[in-house]
Amino acid sequence: MAAVQKVPDIVVGRLPVYLRALQVMAAEGREITSSQELGERLGISSAQIRKDLSYFGTFGKQGTGYRIPDLIEHLRRILKVDRTWDMILIGAGNLGHALAQYQGFTPRGFRLVAIFDNDPEKIGRPIGPHVIQDVQELPEFVRAHRVQIAMIAVPASAAQQVADLCVEAGIRAILNYAPIHLKVPKRILVQYIDPAIHLQQMTYYLGNEG
Amino acid sequence: MAAVQKVPDIVVGRLPVYLRALQVMAAEGREITSSQELGERLGISSAQIRKDLSYFGTFGKQGTGYRIPDLIEHLRRILKVDRTWDMILIGAGNLGHALAQYQGFTPRGFRLVAIFDNDPEKIGRPIGPHVIQDVQELPEFVRAHRVQIAMIAVPASAAQQVADLCVEAGIRAILNYAPIHLKVPKRILVQYIDPAIHLQQMTYYLGNEG
DNA sequence: ACGTGTGAATTAGTTCACAGCT
DNA sequence: AGCTGTGAACTAATTCACACGT
């Protein structure tokens, strides 16, 4: 069955996790896997994996399982990472530097094409292959290069303003590292990364001994 | 009603988000809010917020709403961040440096107490107030200081090994930045941060024009 | 004999809607 | 008049379990 019905967000959210695990298996030289094996690796039920995949098609072979390279290709196509997406980064602090140097984007479908900051001390300095640009140049850059994805790594106090600028410039998806909820039009996709949120989720379950 | 029934994980996962938003409001000088206002800020229904809070007690006043400082205190107590948790960091690369310098942990209940790496070039070097220690010293340090939380910021190839070492040393909660799923005993809490996963979730929804 | 794909059954999560307090 | 807290109603997600193809 093709993806005619709307796929639940929660299912879409698991696909990249499946893809990552499959790529690990491929790197191990594995050719075939099963929903059961994949589920065991990820702590997910095999039924869940089969059901999730069934929203998009039928990729396995009964009695055998899934050919890893094939399933990887299908997932890459479904997630649209069978191409490379340009991204910009705003914020050239410690986190910005780490993101700028991160080698993990390229093999997974993403490429950083520009870094912006508003600090005159930083503008013009190199980070890896890039030079920090004035955030004022962001709108023109985004329009000229048709960039759709931005990563925001500025302080909380500046994040909303930067987000507004991005949206105005035509950015359609934001990965926000600032610890605030962004107010953006519904059409804009936003994902949040905030380590303290994850840590606080865990401390709830940690005993009081600490 | 007190937290007698088991609280769903998904509810626990939202509490830190509520807390963060309330702290923003408090910083704005606000004293009172309502489930409706909070929900609008976060894109969540007011009923959801009231229901979530009802797992833990009744914190609001009918006709009025919630006193922000009080609700913050309740959430901090519920999440056990009304104290400071010691954390260690393994991996002193770009990301490790960013995490080591991050000012956002302290105000939210966390304190980095040690940084480890296995690279002889890095061991002994300072990062902010810390000195990078040999990962060999990790077990003794964790035991001596009763550290319960570790952040893993090493390459994927080393992450499982580091996680095993942490678990063996007595770590109970792991925030893993390496792009692999960790195999750990069920009693260990693990949270994952992987920007590519978030990006791939968004590209699913982005049109094909890019 | 094995593992997929999938309706059906079950469980979990969200929203409704309103009594009750301020 | 306004907003909480919460059972009840509803919707969503997960798991079950098995027919079917290899």
- Convert the pLDDT of each residue in B80-129 to its tens digit: 999 999 999 999 999 999 999 999 999 999 999 999 999 999 999 999 99
Give dist(CA B199, CA B195) in Å, integer: 6
- Comparing B9-78 with B85-197, is the CATH topology the same? no
Query: At residue A202, what is the residue type?
Result: M
Q: What is the mean pLDDT of residues A93-97?
A: 98
A150-183 pLDDT per residue, tens: 999 999 999 999 999 999 999 999 999 999 999 9
pLDDT of residue A9: 98
pLDDT at residue A210 greater than cutoff 50: no
% of chain B at pLDDT higher than 70: 96
Residue B197, phi then psi, degrees to nearest 5: -60, -45
pLDDT of residue A207: 78
Is B20's CB within 8 Å of A180's CB?
yes
Q: For residue B21, which amino acid is it?
A: A
Of the candidates A40, A31, A39, A41, the one whose C-alpha atom is nearest the C-alpha of residue A67 is: A31
Do A34 and A91 touch, CB atoms closer than 8 A? Answer: no
Fold adopted by A9-78: Arc Repressor Mutant, subunit A (1.10.10)
- As a whole number of angstroms, the distance between CA B59 and CA B69 comes to 11
Of B149, B204, B209, the CB nearest to A12: B204
DSSP annotation string for A147-198: --EEEE-S-HHHHHHHHHHHHHHT--EEEE-SSS-----TTSEEEE--HHHH
Q: Which fold has domain A85-197?
A: Rossmann fold (3.40.50)
∠ CA A197-B119-A41, nearest 5°, is 50
Which pair of tokens denotes residue B43?
């894109």
Helix pair A35-42, A46-54: axis angle to 10 deg: 110
Partner-chain residue, chosen from B43, B198, B200, that has the shortest CB–CB distance to A193: B198
Q: Give the integer Cα–Cα distance in Å for A140 and B208.
A: 22
- Cα distances from A142 to residues A93, A105, A161, A166, A179, in angstroms, run 21, 19, 16, 8, 24
pLDDT over 50 at B194, yes or no: yes
Distance from CA of B196 to the nearest CA of A (A): 6
Residues from chain A that touch B146, judged by Cβ atoms under 8 A, are 209-210
The partner residues of B150 in beta bridges, in order of sequence, read B88, B174
Q: Are A135 and A161 in contact (CB under 8 A)?
A: no
What would the DSSP string read from start to end of chain B?
--TTSPPPHHHHHHHHHHHHHHHHHHHTT--EE-HHHHHHHHT--HHHHHHHHHTT----BTTTBEEHHHHHHHHHHHTT-SS-EEEEEE--SHHHHHHHH-TTSGGGTEEEEEEEE--TTTTT-EETTEEEEEGGGHHHHHHHHT--EEEE-S-HHHHHHHHHHHHHHT--EEEE-SSS-----TTSEEEE--HHHHHHHHHHHS-TT-
Q: What would the mean pLDDT of B155-160 be, rounded to a whole number?
A: 98
What integer pLDDT is reported at residue B3 of this predicted model? 45
Tokens of B161: 């090994």
Quote the pLDDT of residue A156. 98
Residue range A27-51: average pLDDT?
98
Q: Which amino acid is at B162?
A: V
Predicted confidence band of residue B189 (pLDDT cuts 50, 70, 90): very high
pLDDT of residue B1: 41
Q: Burial letters for A90-105: b for 16+ Cβ neighbours within 10 Å, e otherwise?
A: bbbbbbbbbbbebebb
Q: Which of B7, B151, B200 to mutate to test the interface with A (most CBs of A within 10 A)?
A: B200
What pLDDT sits at residue A1?
A: 40
* Structure-block tokens of residue B87: 């954390």
**Residue found by looking up tokens 């901090």 in the block:** B76
Question: Is A95 within any annotated ligand binding site?
Answer: yes
Mean pLDDT of A119-132: 97
pLDDT at B207: 77
Look at residue A99 and tell me whether its pLDDT is greater than 60.
yes
> Is the CB of residue A59 inside 7 Å of nucleic acid strand C?
yes
Name the token pair of A154.
């500025």
Task: Tell whether the model's pLDDT for residue A198 goes beyond 80.
Answer: yes
Per domain, the residue ranges of chain A are 9-78, 85-197
> Are the CB atoms for B173 and B150 separated by under 8 Å?
yes
Residues in chain B with CB shorter than 8 Å from the CB of A156 are 24
Q: Is the pLDDT of residue A208 over 70?
A: no
What is the reported pLDDT for B209? 55
Q: Rounded to an integer, what distance in angstroms lies between the CA atom of residue B82 and that of residue B19?
A: 12
| pLDDT exceeds 70 at position B6 | yes
Of A41, A105, A203, nearest to B80 by CB-CB distance is A203
Mutate to test the interface with B, among A201, A205, A208 (most CBs of B within 10 A): A201
